Structure 1
């Protein structure tokens, strides 16, 4: 059996996701698609607009054969940690043949080369990065600028060969390509994640082959909903504005969304406000250094809601997403020590699977980590590390559930009550 892995959030599931799953199976000649998916909180540092069970169902109605939840400490982490934990989880299954992901640039050679530069950090690149960081710009901007300068300084414009699936042996086979703009390339959201996936595959010496697919339709941040391949950002904005989203999602997903009230970040404002008033120090929280901790402390008495608070904390050092993640970590009490402790996932929390694919049976023969289909049973049997991770997730899910029920008066099952989806 050939299996393709996909890392996703489905926030919400849309036509582009349906295309990705279908195209991934086609290109990789795969019999099944295994998805590692964020749970109730996503990498942009906010709650998912629809709960994880419903998003899993959307995916399974549109080609996913197994959906595994990425623990919340990593689903809300930086791109590098998000990617590393996701790859660790897929790699630990010991039967994933391919990793398929959407990119603005589908050159595997270029992605591999940049990934290897970032892993090895040649002295010349590292010196440029240090100089850029000293100007006070954020790390992502400093890194992009350093890469661009490194390629131009050493005339290392890379040949865009989209047919190779092998890791490039940096810096061999580098040729002149005057049209290549590394700065633009490294700043495109899907390219960033693609590079981080490949870095993680390289670090783990994984046998999984990376396969980038050209992203179609609207750009990642585009609000344009005039195309059937609108971005998740555009769809979320349209939903918030009560605009018509028919045609932007598969019909079976639209029916699910219509039966749910969406969750917004500001729904958590009271929780964050209470935390800000009660916590004396924040530098133990993941994503918060002393400087950001001071900025939060100096502005906390101006807090009214999350969406207006984030811009108060922004500077050239801190991106909107980084601040959003930091505030979510305050809400969920996710500490730096938690991140360090659990990067190598040692269980797979199943959200749903298809019987006919046989993929769960295949994985059960190859993996050494627990495949969890019943939360309550595994919770009793878990070791201390597993229990700690489960408790962090449980606390986060209980908060999401409480806020949803307070907003809607509808009942969501607890983790102990939740049934996995079987198709």
Structure 2
């Protein structure tokens, strides 16, 4: 069975994702699709719109055969670490190919750019440090340094584009890990990654879909045109069962409590809290009445919105620097957490299971892993928006829920 890997968040799964999945499967001539999917908190430091279990169902109903979780230690990190963890899991699962969406659309440009960056690494690093000393954020400093390095070269990636950046780091991780994975890319179509509004096509960005959902008080009928029928059905069911979707405002009271009840030195121990940011966090949150107001006041030229959201996520989950650095420094996952599978996916796992270098985890009970403990804590934090007894039920699911099984013929889950 020829296997294709995709690295996703599916927040939520929409028609653009379906297009990418279909095109990727065709380009790779794959028999089975494996998705490495972020858990309850995402790369931009946001809580997922709906739980990882519901997003797993969306993926399986749309053609994915195996869904595994990208651990919190990688899922809530900058692109380089996010990519390393993802590639390590696909490699461990014996994937043949990884395919990602990009603005560039040509895989040769990714390899060419990687070669140039390695050839001029010292010059690039010096320029990054120079721009950061001028007050730019790390992503902006990296972009400026890259432009200076490559301005006279042809067929080079535009590393100001979010999907190009991720794709570059996927290819870099493949090379660094000496993985046998083959890289492929599909050009993104219609909607841009962060487009905030709908367009005339049936493809819209996840950002615009979430914006519409949160801006219309639960009336999300208009998103139906931009998502597969099963996604819409699962979104509707989730809203009916929980009464809302997840967003940062749901966690603002908890965040405020955590910041104000911590000392400056305790906050300084949290991952990504640097350069006296702990003092700014405490002062700013006293004056803020909502998460959006807090972030608007907190943001500076040096600290991007995304970086600050990740800081807030780590504060909520009490993720300490020493723990995160020790776990993520390995650049490889310690396990493969199985969330769901189709019948074809189950057959694939049975075939490769005996050759896996790291354990395949169906339930977290009884497993001793610092990395896995972080995933559990993320789910416990994610559940805090609910009232009891729902909150405790959600927390218990992390230990008791088996992987979802999808039956294609009946289009049912168990």
| TM-score, normalised with respect to structure 2 | 0.89
Tell me the residue number matched to 2:354. 365
Shift of 1:15: 0.8
Tell me the residue number matched to 2:154. 157
**Contact 2:260–2:282 under 8 Å retained in 1:** no
Tell me the residue number matched to 2:212. 238
Tell me the residue number matched to 2:383. 401
Shift of 1:75: 1.2
Tell me the residue number matched to 1:215. 188
What pairs up with 1:351-390 in 2 under 5 angstroms?
A: 351-357=339-345, 358-376=347-365, 380=366, 382-383=367-368, 386=369, 388-390=370-372
Q: Which residue of 284, 290, 299 corresponds with 1:314? A: 299
Q: Which residue of 267, 274, 283 corresponds with 2:268? A: 283
Q: Which residue of 404, 408, 412 corresponds with 1:421? A: 404
Shift of 1:339: 2.5
Residues 198-237 of structure 1: per-residue CA shift (max 9 Å, x gap): 1111111111011011001210111232321100001000
Tell me the residue number matched to 1:97. 96
Shift of 1:406: 5.9
Tell me the residue number matched to 1:305. 290
What is the count of residue pairs matched by the alignment? 389
Tell me the residue number matched to 1:266. 249
What pairs up with 1:184-195 in 2 under 5 angstroms?
A: 185-195=158-168
Q: Aligned equivalents of 1:286 and 1:131: distance in 2?
A: 24
Q: Aligned equivalents of 1:133 and 1:322: distance in 2?
A: 15
Of 394-403 and 42-51, deviating more is 394-403
Q: Aligned equivalents of 1:337 and 1:233: distance in 2?
A: 33
Shift of 1:407: 11
- What 5-or-longer segments of structure 1 have no aligned partner? 159-179
* Structure 1 residues 332 and 409, CA gap change in structure 2 (3 angstroms): closer
SS state at 1:295 partner: helix
Shift of 1:354: 1.2
Shift of 1:40: 0.9
Q: Aligned equivalents of 2:78 and 2:126: distance in 1?
A: 23
What pairs up with 1:160-171 in 2 under 5 angstroms?
A: none
* Structure 1 residues 306 and 251, CA gap change in structure 2 (3 angstroms): same
Q: Aligned equivalents of 1:407 and 1:262: distance in 2?
A: 18
Shift of 1:9: 0.3
Tell me the residue number matched to 1:225. 198
Tell me the residue number matched to 1:131. 130
Of 244-253 and 407-416, deviating more is 407-416
Residues 61-103 of structure 1: per-residue CA shift (max 9 Å, x gap): 001110001111221111111111111221222x111110000
**Contact 1:41–1:76 under 8 Å retained in 2:** yes
**Contact 1:92–1:369 under 8 Å retained in 2:** yes
SS state at 1:356 partner: helix
**Contact 2:334–2:371 under 8 Å retained in 1:** no
Shift of 1:129: 2.6
**Contact 1:398–1:414 under 8 Å retained in 2:** no
Q: Aligned equivalents of 2:209 and 2:389: distance in 1?
A: 21
Q: Please give the root-mean-square deviation of Cα atoms over the aligned residues, in Å.
A: 2.0
